[in-house]
Structure 1
Amino acid sequence: MRKLLLIMFAMVFVVSSCKLDESEDGDTGTDTGTGTTTTTMKITSPNGGESFSEGSSTEIKWTSNATTLLRIQFSYDNGASWYLVADSLVNSGVYSWFPLPTTISNQCKLRVATISGTAADETDQNFSITKSNSQSITLLSPIGGESWEAGSNQQIKWFSIGVDSLIIQYTPNNGITWSNVGKVVKNTGIFFWEPVPNTPSTLAKIRLLDADDSSPVVESPKVFEILPEPKIKVKAPNGGEVLVSGSDKMIEWESENIENVKIAYTLNNGFEWIPIIDKYPSTGFYEWKNIPIANSKLCKIRVYDAKDSEPWDVSDNVFSITNQTTQAITITSPDGGEAWEGGSSHAITWNSSGIKRVKLEYTLNNGLTWNQLVNDFENNGSYQWSIPDIFSSQCKIKVSDSEDAEPSDESNGVFTISQVPTLDLISPDGNENLIAGAPVDIIWTSKGIDNIKIEFTEKNGITESDWFTLVESTPAGVGKYSTSFTRASDLYRVRISDAKDGSPRDVSSSTFRVTQKPTIVVISPNGGENWLVGSPYDITWQANNIEKIRIEISVNGGKNYVNIDSNLVNNGYYRWTVDPAKINFNSDLCKVRISEFIASDPTSKRAVDETDTYFSIHKKEVEKLIRVTAPNGGENFGYNEFNEIIWASVNVDFVKIEYTINNGQNWVTIIDKYPSTGRYDWNPVDLPSSLARVRITDYFDPSVRDESDNYFNLTKKLPSVKIISPMQLQQLDVNTQTDISFICTEDIVKVGIYSSIDNGVTWNLVTYQNTPADIQHTFKWIPTQQTEMGRIRIDGYLSIDPNIVGASDTSDRFIVK
Structure 2
Amino acid sequence: MIKKYFLLTNFIFLISLFCLNLQAQSVTIVQPNGGETLYSCEVYPITWNQSGSLSNYWNIDYSLDGGTIWASVASNFQSTTGEYLWTVPNVSSTTVLIRVRDAQNLSTQDISDSLFSINFPIQITSPVGGEVWQGLSTQQITWDAGGTSNTYQIHYSKNGGNTWIPIVTNYSSLTGTYDWTVPNDPGSNVIVRVRDAAQYCKQDISNVFEITPAQPVLLTPNGGEELWPGCSYQITWDQETFYSNVRLEYSDDNGVTWNTAFSSTSNNGSRNWTPPANIIPGNQYLIKASNTADFNVFDVSDAPFTILEPIEIINPMAGDTVYGCNLLAIEMIKSTCIGNFRVLYSLDNGATWSTIITSLSNTSNNNQIYENWTIPNGITTDEAIIRVERAFDNTVFAESEVFSIRPSNDITVTAPTPGESINASTTYQITWDNTPNVSGAYDLHYKTVSSGWTTIATNITGNAYNWNVPNMSASTVQIRVRDRNNTCKANITENFTIIPDQPILLGPNGGEEFWPGCSYPITWDASTFYTNPTIQYSSDSGSTWTTIWSTSTNNGSRNWGVPIGATPGDNYLIKIFNSGNSTLHDVSDAPFTIKTPLTVIEPDETDTLIGCTTFPIRFETSGCIGSLRISYSIDGGDNWTVIVSSLSNSTSGMRTYNWSVPNGINTDEAKIRVERAFDSSVFHESELFSIRPSDEIDVLTPTAGESVPALQPYEITWNHTPVVSEFEIHYSINDGGVWNLIDNNVSGTSFTWEPPNTPTSTARIRVRDRFNYCRHEVSDAFTITPAQPVLLTPNGGEELWPGCSYQITWDQETFYSNVRL
TM-score by shorter chain over 0.5: no
TM-score by length of 1: 0.24
